[in-house]
Amino acid sequence: MLPQAELHVHLEGTAPPALIARIAKRNRIELPPGMLAPDGRFHFRDFLHFLNTYDLAASVIRTSEDYRNITYEYLSNVAREGGVYVELTASPDHAALVGLDDDAHYGGIAQGIDDARRDHGIESRILVSAVRNFGPEQALRVARRAAQRPHPYIVGFSLAGDERVAPAQFAPAYEVAAAAGLGCTIHAGEWQGPSAIREALKLPVTRLDHGARASEDPTLLHELAARGMTLNVCPTSNVVLGVYRSLSEHPLPHLHGSGVRVTLGSDDPPYFGASLAGEYALCAEHFGWSEQQLREVTAAAIDAAFCDEPLKAALRERLRAH
> Which residues are known catalytic residues?
190
Interacting span for Zn ion (CB under 5 A) from 21-29, 161-169, 267-275, 310-318:
267-275
CA distances from 258 to 40, 100, 314 (A): 40, 44, 29
Q: Give strand pairing partners of 88.
A: 9, 126
Residue at shortest CB range from ligand HPA? 160
Of 160 and 224, which CB lies nearer to ligand HPA in the complex structure?
A: 160
Of 267 and 279, which CB lies nearer to Zn ion in the complex structure?
A: 267
Q: Using CA atoms, how far apart are residues 118 and 89, in angstroms rounded to an integer?
A: 21
User: Which of Zn ion, ligand HPA, none is residue 161 near (CB under 5 to 8 Å by kind)?
Assistant: ligand HPA
Q: Give strand pairing partners of 183.
A: 156
Q: What is the DSSP letter of 42?
A: B
Is residue 13 near ligand HPA by the rule CB under 6 A? yes
With CB under 6 A as the contact rule, the residue among 102, 123, 268, 279 that binds ligand HPA is 268
Q: Which residues contact 279 (CB under 8 A, 6 or more apart)?
A: 234, 235, 236, 264, 265, 266
DSSP string, 261-277: EEEE--BSHHHHT--HH
Site for ligand HPA (CB under 6 A): how many residues? Answer: 8
User: Which of Zn ion, ligand HPA, none is residue 283 near (CB under 5 to 8 Å by kind)?
Assistant: none
Is residue 267 near Zn ion by the rule CB under 5 A? yes
Rounded to a whole number of angstroms, the minimum distance from the CB of residue 163 to ligand HPA is 7
Number of neighbouring beta carbons within 10 Å of residue 291: 11
Of 68 and 132, which CB lies nearer to ligand HPA in the complex structure?
A: 132
Site for Zn ion (CB under 5 A): how many residues? Answer: 1
Rounded to a whole number of angstroms, the minimum distance from the CB of residue 268 to ligand HPA is 5
User: Which of ligand HPA, Zn ion, none is residue 93 near (CB under 5 to 8 Å by kind)?
Assistant: none
Q: How many CA atoms lie within 13 A of 249 on its CB side?
A: 10
Is residue 85 near ligand HPA by the rule CB under 6 A? no
Of 240 and 262, which CB lies nearer to ligand HPA in the complex structure?
A: 240
Is residue 54 near ligand HPA by the rule CB under 6 A? yes
User: Which of Zn ion, ligand HPA, none is residue 54 near (CB under 5 to 8 Å by kind)?
Assistant: ligand HPA
Number of neighbouring beta carbons within 10 Å of residue 223: 16
Q: Kind of pairing, strands 154-160 and 123-131?
A: parallel
Is residue 93 near Zn ion by the rule CB under 5 A? no
Rounded to a whole number of angstroms, the minimum distance from the CB of residue 241 to ligand HPA is 8
Q: Using CA atoms, how far apart are residues 177 and 261, in angstroms rounded to an integer?
A: 23
Q: Using CA atoms, how far apart are residues 184 and 203, in angstroms rounded to an integer?
A: 9
Rounded to a whole number of angstroms, the minimum distance from the CB of residue 233 to ligand HPA is 12
Rg, C-alpha atoms of the chain: 18
Q: Using CA atoms, how far apart are residues 229 and 221, in angstroms rounded to an integer?
A: 10
Rounded to a whole number of angstroms, the minimum distance from the CB of residue 55 to ligand HPA is 9
Q: Kind of pairing, strands 261-264 and 230-233?
A: parallel
Residues comprising the chain, all counted: 322
Number of neighbouring beta carbons within 10 Å of residue 264: 28
Q: Kind of pairing, strands 83-90 and 123-131?
A: parallel
With CB under 6 A as the contact rule, the residue among 160, 176, 283, 305 that binds ligand HPA is 160
Rounded to a whole number of angstroms, the minimum distance from the CB of residue 11 to ligand HPA is 9
Is residue 123 near ligand HPA by the rule CB under 6 A? no
Is residue 187 near ligand HPA by the rule CB under 6 A? yes
Look up residue 86 and give its amino acid.
V
Residues in contact with ligand HPA by the rule CB under 6 A: 10, 13, 54, 160-161, 187, 267-268
- Judged by the rule CB under 5 A, the positions of this chain that interact with Zn ion are 267
